[in-house]
Every structure is written in structure tokens, then in C-alpha cells.
């Protein structure tokens, strides 16, 4: 069964999704310094921690999807959290740049996470 999941991650679609997930996680981690909201410590720490978590998940999915497929649902949840985080973590101090950055990367993470789940479901339905 693991071999089937590992073969599924070798497809071009799975590799693109994994790469996008990894890059989105890295961007989320460095976004406070790229976009310029590092003066807001709560959202800065939030984005750094969640971005590094997504990047670590993406590495796990790319290298050993058979062992990490059980946590594939975490990526879309982090994507949803990233979308709403500016209003939850720093509701009165979030400028438009924070909101736009988080919403865009959150949507990307949500879609990539759903794609990772779909890849796992598709490979589990195939016959050997």
C-alpha cells in the first residue's frame, strides 16, 4: 500500500502540488519581512510558525507520502486558518497588505491541501 502512495507522488501533478505547497509554506514563513508587517509580533509569529509547519508537511508528502498521508488534511486547515488569521490574531491592527498576503497564500494552501488529499484518495482507489 505504501508503495502505491509513493508511486502516486512521482506523478507530475503530485510533484507540482508538492512544490507549490512547499513554496507557499516558505512564503508564509517569510511574508512578515517580505510584505513589511514584522512590527506586528502576533501575526508575525503566527505566519512564521504556520509557514514552517506547512513547509515541513510538504517535505514529508514529497518524500514519504505513504507514511504522511494520514495528516494531509492539516494543510487545508492551515490554509483556512491563514485566511482568517489577520482578523483573529490582530483584528484592529492588520493593514491591507497583511490581509491580502494572508488571503492569497491561504487560498493557495487550501487548494494545494485539497489536491494532496485527492492524490491520496485517487491512489488508494487504484488496483495494483
**pLDDT digit string (tens) for 72-91?**
899 999 999 999 999 999 87
Give the per-residue pLDDT at 94. Answer: 81
Task: Choose among 128, 127, 123, 126: nearest CA to 8.
Answer: 123
Give the per-residue pLDDT at 88. Answer: 94
pLDDT, average across residues 41-51 = 95
Condensed to tens digits (0 to 9), the pLDDT of residues 94-122 reads 889 999 999 999 999 999 999 988 887 77
Average pLDDT, the chain: 86
Give the per-residue pLDDT at 38. Answer: 73
Distance, CA of 104 to CA of 120 (rounded, Å): 25
Amino acid at each position: 500500500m505504501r508503495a502505491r502512495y509513493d508511486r502516486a507522488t512521482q506523478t507530475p501533478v503530485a510533484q507540482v502540488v508538492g512544490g507549490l505547497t512547499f513554496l507557499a509554506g516558505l512564503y508564509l514563513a517569510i511574508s512578515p519581512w517580505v510584505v513589511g508587517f514584522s512590527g506586528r509580533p502576533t501575526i508575525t509569529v503566527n505566519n512564521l510558525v504556520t509557514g514552517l509547519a506547512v513547509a515541513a508537511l510538504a517535505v514529508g508528502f514529497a518524500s514519504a507520502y505513504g507514511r504522511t498521508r494520514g495528516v494531509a488534511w492539516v494543510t487545508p486547515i492551515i490554509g483556512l486558518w491563514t485566511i482568517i488569521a489577520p482578523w483573529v490574531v490582530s483584528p484592529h491592527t492588520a493593514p491591507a497588505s497583511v490581509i491580502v498576503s494572508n488571503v492569497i497564500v491561504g487560498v493557495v494552501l487550501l487548494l494545494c491541501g485539497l489536491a494532496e488529499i485527492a492524490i491520496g484518495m485517487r491512489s488508494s482507489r487504484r488496483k495494483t
